[in-house]
Amino acid sequence: MGTPTKPQSLRKITTTGQLRQFLSEMLVQIESGQLEADDARNITKMAAQINESFYSEIKIAKIRLEIGQGSSDLGLLPINGEP
């Protein structure tokens, strides 16, 4: 096993597909010994938070559509009462 290193990816992840690809690459890096399991665990926790945010935003958009308020673009949901 080689010396473990941090993930080299500095690319910007802008879609759910890119997030899945990134996480898949982390699995390969763990298997090859390039990434420590603890680092991968932390990355997975962050990804889970992103996925939870996606889910919440989609759920709110669905409810707004059901009550006739329309929906906003994903990623633009106001927080803290700010428009």
The pLDDT tens digits for 59-81 are 888 888 899 988 777 777 777 76
CB count, 10 Å around CB of 35?
Answer: 21
* Integer angstrom CA distances of residue 78 from 16, 53, 58: 20, 13, 13
Q: How far apart are CA 34 and CA 12, in angstroms?
A: 21
pTM, two decimal places: 0.59
13-60: pLDDT as tens digits: 777 788 888 888 888 888 898 988 888 888 888 888 888 888 888 888
